[in-house]
Structure 1
Amino acid sequence: MGFTLFARVHAAFGAPLTLANLGDRLGAMWGGRVLVDEPYRRTLTGAQIAELVAGWSNAIASLSEPGERVVLATPNSYDQFLLCLAVARAGRVAVPVNAQMRPVEVDHVVNDSGARLVIRSADDLEEAVATAPPCEPATPDPGEVAALFYTSGTTGKPKGAALTHKGLMGEARFGALAPTDLVDVEVVVSLPVAHIFGFVMLLSMATSGMRVCFLARFKASDVLDVIESRRSTGFIGVPSMYRMLLEAGAAERDLSCVRFWGSGADAMPAELAQTFKRFGASANLPIIGSVGDALFIEGYGMVEIGGAAAIKVSLPRLPERLGQNLAFRMPGYKFRVVGADGVEVPTGEMGELQLKGPGVLKEYWNAPEATRGAITEDGWLRTGDLVRLSRLGTINFCGRQKHVIKSGGYSVYPLEVELALEEHPDVLEAAVVGKADPKLGLVPVAAVRLDPGASVTPEELVDWVSERLSLYKAPRQIIVVDELPRTGTAKLQKDRIEEFFH
């Protein structure tokens, strides 16, 4: 325990961590401690990770030039994460791509990044590993670009967010100071490595010495089997995964081993989070001690900030509404909320969140106009998210600015309507979009997934919302679908949902 604490403090406050030196540092800090378990494949200790990363780094250095971009078009795997460290150690820029990208999308990333080296599997490097001479680890400035993460492309072609060593490693260092009860655990992760949420989670857990059970492909029944059989103490996923776990029978499983649940990349319905908190065991926090339920931890972030800028922890013993909205800024971040005119709004009023902080992208690669559109002249990142800030500094997420439906002079916020629909016991998931209307401009409409045994009709759901929200917010049309279209990172594709109503 003493060495573990020392290693974690060293990770947080020791010599600067970069992607380039992280592989070697994991070997030095954690040695024979198992950091990753890929069921039915292998386990890896800190020392084994250091050895793998060094070998791949030598190979990459022999196949490319310093500063070049290297595209990692591998299947989703822990190898893809370690290859990012190897690319950085060789003094190159890592460009991981999602395994669900179509060939034409991968071609776009290769051409846009200017990469000459594309790695499709770690096996591609076997020959070079055997013959390449050892290379000295790169020593980049923390402000240099470490990786390009391409946006999910829900609108237009993906853009490469250029993220620095300092920005990517900032949250990993902060994660090393998490309470011991949340670190000396095994966490099940089944996220895409090429998505910033998955990547930063793996960075943070490796740095803190947290053991990861990594599942390359998410299947709800498999995740439940793993948690139950291994008595894993944490799970991190996106909201849609939690819905699928519930549909796969989570309520009938013994999940009492789980001390914390984690989520990000999309808005988490409060009732869904509360449900999983009740499934788990009590977490123990410093000073407080046992808190009675499992914790539910949500991160607010995006690829343009290299992870999360705020974190929400649903704590027991708080009034329910406060417990659902209590969010904290990550260290080093500043927030402001502005109206359509760019002027800050009074505390408590809704507006667009703009922020500054260490993780903010340096630029969009080869896209100066997009960069100017994303960052204000005085250096604030425009998030496009509508929020309210309280006097206590807590943040309440209200939806995406571009998804607001202007209907007859009123503003309809899809997230508010979606949450109202999902309160109905027969509704598994809802997506609200705008449909053209000759009189009102746009009107809200909704696509919903229902419980297999549901008997509720679309008309009854319209009445359900009308009883809870203003009439102009109620969907004018509701259709029932088997599945809702998603991106490779499980986010809803609102543009494709709009096509349902054409």
Structure 2
Amino acid sequence: MRGDLEWGTVPMLVRDAARRFGAREAVVEGRTRVTYRDLGDRVERAAAACIAHGVRAGDRVAVWAPNTLDWIVSALGAVSAGAVLVPLNTRFKGAEAAYVLARSRARLLFVTGTFLGTSYVASLRRAAQDGDGTGPLPGLPDLDEVVVLADDAPADFRTWKDFLASGDTVPAERVRERADAIDPSAPSDIIYTSGTTGRPKGAVITHAQTLRGYAVWSELAGLREGDRYLIVNPFFHTFGYKAGVIACLMRGATMVPQPVFNVDTVLANIAAERISVLPGPPTLHQSLLDHPARDAHDLSALRLVVTGAAVVPLRLVERLRAELHIGTVLTAYGLSEASGIVTMCRRGDPAEVIASTSGRAIPGSEVRVVASSGTVLPPGEPGEVLVRGFNVMGGYFEDPDATARAITPDGWLRTGDVGVLDEDGNLRITDRIKDMFIVGGFNAYPAEIEQLLGLHPDVADVAVIGVPDGRLGEVGMAYVVRRPAATLTADDLIAWARREMANYKVPRSVRFVPELPRNASGKVVKGELRGAAAT
């Protein structure tokens, strides 16, 4: 990795990748196979079209679409024109997308056509039909143009093909000049938080932070030229866009985007495309291991898995290594406000460290754990996780009050996560501060309880919440997904838990469910579970 890229810009990275990896496959989408040289040309054409449509340096450009080649080209094209990328969650409803578009004051939107039976254009039109704007959506006065990533579009919107053609009059020199004028310290994207605890807020991250962070990620993970990377993690999340697209551009790996998680499709892609890299949440890898037709597919090319969550069962790490012969299995921890990367395990760490922790602080950053008073806590003591370093956002977009609450005057980001550091600096996330509940005066951390319950051989997935109790104040309730063919009962699991953990941690009730509600980042939406528990 050349030093200037670590401190450079995303368009510089795209151009450099086209030069370094020219004829190597960059993106595979069905029968479409695009080389790095072709990808560079497509991105510059998209940048030219953005310039032709009046996009200025610093303007926000949004993309609301699943993982596709068009997402990659439109997003990188906008950023190469000097715009700030605003990825939209594909699980958003129209009103949620409209909120982020309005809050970011996006000028241009790239949107998919129909996806999973839903017309995103129609849902957005319904949510933003009323207002004083003169553009395609009156309720979004700052939005000048909507481009549908399809062959057809409503009369007041524009098709992707027509949009690209409009940039043919913009000279290549002008596109290069625009890209070269971008300062590495300028914002490259605004990642809006998942909104599970309130309205989404936009974390502003720069070009230099992005490139430095994912040069580190690529190095620690061991991503290398020629790897074939199945990107199931959604592009609107840093795990998909930055640990996926940006990392592949840095290393010359081939991107195979998958728009929807489906284990049968994952298996087919791994075999057909000789996939060697498969990051994703633990549930992805668990479903892969447990699939009844797994042995019918050739998975021998897989060599690298990176996962991350509060709960990564040791058995999962061991099975990935023993059954699929994956040489490198790593865990990591990050959040949007810290460029998506805070800690990471290292290759060679023992399975126990990988399963029970999220690794150590990445180079160029610091991690500490503090009490509610702000006092720094010693190893082994749980408290709020704070992070400081190059990866911490400059702030929330146009929200100084929220920024001041999140970042201390001396630069420490308050993550809102509860964690414990060990003597070697490995971080174990035990919960969100808001998820902790108190049982008869004892602090109970759901993620810790979930990890213990996950050791039961009949438990495939589990989430724990606190519910009111007349005697103890609060007690635990477990939502459990059984393994296939298991006959586990609530009484069985509670009795087992009493043998495995302190009494105050033992759930007092168990509900069995077919699956847990998760947001697009793979996190369990505990608000839904609390709502169900209250009924």
Superimposed CA distance per residue, residues 423-443 of structure 1 (whole angstroms, 9 cap, x where no aligned partner): 111111010001012232211
Q: Which residues of 2 match residues 81-480 of structure 1 at below 5 A?
A: 81-120=72-111, 121-123=148-150, 124-132=159-167, 133-134=170-171, 135=175, 136-138=177-179, 139-175=181-217, 177=219, 182-201=224-243, 202-249=245-292, 252=295, 253-264=297-308, 267-281=311-325, 294-313=327-346, 315=348, 318=350, 320=352, 324-325=356-357, 327-480=359-512
CA pair 28-426 structure 1, distance change in 2 beyond 3 A: same
Separation in structure 1 between the aligned mates of residue 356 and residue 16 of structure 2, nearest angstrom: 37
**TM-score of the two chains, using structure 2 as the length reference:** 0.84
RMSD, aligned α-carbons: 2.2
Shift of 1:176: 5.2
CA pair 496-442 structure 1, distance change in 2 beyond 3 A: same
Shift of 1:393: 2.1
User: Is 1:32–2:65 an aligned residue pair?
Assistant: no
Separation in structure 2 between the aligned mates of residue 472 and residue 396 of structure 1, nearest angstrom: 21
Shift of 1:158: 1.2
Separation in structure 2 between the aligned mates of residue 34 and residue 188 of structure 1, nearest angstrom: 13
Separation in structure 2 between the aligned mates of residue 275 and residue 440 of structure 1, nearest angstrom: 39
Once the two structures are overlaid, the 10-residue window that deviates more, 206-215 or 189-198, is: 206-215
Separation in structure 1 between the aligned mates of residue 494 and residue 465 of structure 2, nearest angstrom: 15
SS at structure 1 position matched to 2:178: coil
Separation in structure 2 between the aligned mates of residue 187 and residue 244 of structure 1, nearest angstrom: 18
SS at structure 1 position matched to 2:288: helix
SS at structure 2 position matched to 1:237: coil
Separation in structure 1 between the aligned mates of residue 389 and residue 51 of structure 2, nearest angstrom: 32
Contact kept? 1:314, 1:323, Cα under 8 Å = no
**TM-score of the two chains, using structure 1 as the length reference:** 0.90
Separation in structure 1 between the aligned mates of residue 6 and residue 519 of structure 2, nearest angstrom: 38
Q: Which amino acid letter does the alignment assign opposite residue 389 of structure 1? A: L
Separation in structure 2 between the aligned mates of residue 211 and residue 319 of structure 1, nearest angstrom: 28
SS at structure 2 position matched to 1:355: strand
Separation in structure 2 between the aligned mates of residue 249 and residue 20 of structure 1, nearest angstrom: 44
Separation in structure 2 between the aligned mates of residue 405 and residue 254 of structure 1, nearest angstrom: 45
For these two proteins, the number of residue pairs brought into alignment is 480
Contact kept? 1:351, 1:387, Cα under 8 Å = yes
Structure 1: which 5+ runs fail to align? 1-8, 282-292
Q: Which amino acid letter does the alignment assign opposite residue 269 of structure 1? A: P
Q: Which residues of 2 match residues 8-27 of structure 1 at below 5 A?
A: 9-10=1-2, 12=3, 16-27=7-18
User: Is 1:63–2:53 an aligned residue pair?
Assistant: yes
Separation in structure 1 between the aligned mates of residue 347 and residue 454 of structure 2, nearest angstrom: 20
Contact kept? 2:331, 2:357, Cα under 8 Å = no
Contact kept? 2:47, 2:77, Cα under 8 Å = yes
Superimposed CA distance per residue, residues 140-189 of structure 1 (whole angstroms, 9 cap, x where no aligned partner): 22222111111111111111111111111112323554687854321222
Separation in structure 2 between the aligned mates of residue 14 and residue 119 of structure 1, nearest angstrom: 27
SS at structure 1 position matched to 2:464: strand
Contact kept? 2:313, 2:455, Cα under 8 Å = no
Q: Which amino acid letter does the alignment assign opposite residue 349 of structure 1? A: E
Separation in structure 2 between the aligned mates of residue 483 and residue 91 of structure 1, nearest angstrom: 42
Q: Which amino acid letter does the alignment assign opposite residue 127 of structure 1? A: D
- Percent sequence identity over aligned pairs: 30
Shift of 1:399: 2.1
Superimposed CA distance per residue, residues 51-72 of structure 1 (whole angstroms, 9 cap, x where no aligned partner): 1110110111122342211111
Structure 2: which 5+ runs fail to align? 112-147, 151-158
Contact kept? 2:224, 2:252, Cα under 8 Å = no
Separation in structure 2 between the aligned mates of residue 272 and residue 44 of structure 1, nearest angstrom: 35
Contact kept? 1:197, 1:264, Cα under 8 Å = no
